[in-house]
Chains A and B, each alone.
Chain A
């Protein structure tokens, strides 16, 4: 008797994890793609966590004020863009450490979001609608798991585009060259500072959209504890994905699954160690960083100008 119950519970937990992985992975994916672009150009932006939180707040406020969640998404991107552009501008000054500036923007972005976000904790803003992909299965659990937000597909399409663009376009080549060897880029007449400025700004835009997903879809409201370091884990995720946009999707899904572990176990009544399972994504990230830090594949594919791998 016990076995049948636990079998059913296992399936429920697995399905919840599948749905959770897709849901939880989307913000990871956007931040990781933004960070991937920035790091490909040879700079690190640890401040994307700040862009993410500010983006979440701006998206919620934008959606509440305009009544259109997609307008909120756009505003969130713009907020991230501004923070990213500031980061890019400051880092091009000589003697400024990009990692430290990232920490500063982490705290500045979070502070701004908390400051302006106070009035939006209570009201209900229109949320993003999901696409129902699983209704044909007839299984309510599957149907719920397969409610996928359109932003997920936008992220996947973006990753494929970036993968293609890095290989096949002039701009992709310029970014890779700037990231691998600034002197070579200079010799080709490319303005290294400008390329990195643009890459950091666009990276911030993407992180802002990742934040919009948090407040407008899942968990789907704005509060101060909304982000729990997704922006920072995404930085580690990019290293794990070895700076490949397509691998970023897979890594994000893996992180999403780890993040969904706690809630999906709770959905079948296992609440013992809930807080421990909440730590799973961080522990996973740490393990991955240890495993990939000295690997030859990572060393081969890391952008040469990146201070994080030195």
Chain B
């Protein structure tokens, strides 16, 4: 009689492999976040600060009021785009960390093309799309170049894309302090302000600029492209095994370059919104580390474009709460950097647990016999 319920239990169908994998890919990053929070609490305790207060302030500063929520979303917008800029090349097997450079160059291009257009009095509804296109083109070519170097010249894309970031920042400084400098910007060299008439407004009913909407739309679109189209399938096959993809006759080189173009365009667009919605001009404020945080966002989202959205909002909250933490706890602004770095390290360490937690593994009783 006692045997009956046991066999009933084993009769119960195990969830499918897909469900298990999905659960695993949610559980491990969340656990990594929890472990990072725990380690960071110990770090705070060692410094004599209250972890409870810290996490409470993150909640208050990130989501506590409609003001802080909008601040969070404002910062999440570029993070979605730079997260995508890392995630898309990652699906094709590249570790492309040049998002910062593409963002900066995109912002510079947008501001540069705006100068003659604004001076000539071209109306905003023509000027802004042209600015966005210039930004996406510049960012896309920048990262696309790194992808091209990778496939056709065998240059490691991680190092080359990072070098390109430094070159992009130097280029921005070169133009902003030189040819494109607005003489009126005395203390902080900047390009000519595009003016309020040309600024992109907020999404109605909020203070959040339209970059958030662009990020959401692009994340969904790229998710569909990467999971539901032939192109996305080919890209994922290449990411899984480039040699096999070549043997199948897939145009690996073209796929890589197109993915990098898309990625760079995303980061460039983030630069456009920073110029057209946030700063109104291109200057050193563009180098705010969004490109680098985007890498972490993409890793935490496991390079899934849709998952980039919630993760970007989480890190947007962290950035938004930075100021409150600085004021209320008397801690340096680098506190957020330490937490981000810690999450990064723990998250990558957690990669080792995939396929090793028995609960998430499909039963392979038949194979073993």
Contact = CB atoms under 8 A, between A and B. Distances in A.
A97 B159 CA distance: 15
B51 to A, nearest CB: 15
B334 interface: yes
Contacts of A101: 345, 348-349
A104 B345 contact: yes
Name the prevailing secondary structure of the B interface residues: helix
Chain B CB within 10 A, most for which of A86, A115, A290: A115
A233 B163 contact: yes
B122 interface: no
A271 B345 CA distance: 41
Contacts of A111: 334, 337-342
Interface residues of A, number: 45
A118 interface: yes
Given A289-B156, A308-B156, A112 B174 contact: no
B167 interface: yes
B344 A103 contact: yes
B244 to A, nearest CB: 15
Interface stretch (B147-155, B210-218, B221-229): B147-155
Contacts of A136: none
Contacts of B156: 239, 289, 293, 308-309
B351 A97 contact: yes
Interface stretch (A17-25, A248-256, A276-284): A276-284
B295 interface: yes
B41 interface: no
A282 B163 contact: yes
Nearest to A119: B332
A65 B342 CA distance: 27
A278 B295 CA distance: 26
A115 B342 CA distance: 13
Given A278-B170, A282-B166, A282-B167, A108 B155 contact: no
B296 A118 contact: no
A118 B348 contact: no
A233 to B, nearest CB: 7
B292 interface: yes
Contacts of B149: 290
A296 interface: no
A104 B348 contact: yes
Contacts of B342: 108, 111
A6 B233 CA distance: 62
Contacts, number: 134
A275 B337 contact: no
Given A107-B337, A109-B341, A100 B348 contact: yes
A34 to B, nearest CB: 16
Given A108-B338, A275-B173, A278-B170, A103 B349 contact: no
Interface in A243-289: 273, 275-276, 278-279, 282-283, 285-286, 289
Chain A CB within 10 A, most for which of B299, B339, B341, B355: B341
Interface string B343-369: 011011101101100000000000000
A232 B341 CA distance: 17
Contact of A275 (B95, B170, B351): B170
Contacts of A233: 163
Contacts of B173: 275, 278
Interface string A231-245: 011011001000000
Interface in B274-313: 292, 295-296, 299
Contacts of B338: 108, 111-112, 115
Interface of B: 95, 97, 149, 153-156, 158-160, 162-164, 166-167, 170-171, 173-174, 177-178, 292, 295-296, 299, 332, 334-335, 337-342, 344-345, 347-349, 351-352, 354-355
Given A111-B338, A290-B155, 15 more contacts: A95-B351, A95-B352, A97-B95, A100-B95, A101-B348, A101-B349, A103-B295, A104-B344, A104-B348, A107-B337, A112-B338, A112-B341, A115-B334, A276-B171, A294-B154
Interface of A: 46, 86, 90, 93-97, 99-101, 103-105, 107-112, 114-115, 118, 228-229, 232-233, 235-236, 239, 273, 275-276, 278-279, 282-283, 285-286, 289-290, 293-294, 308-309
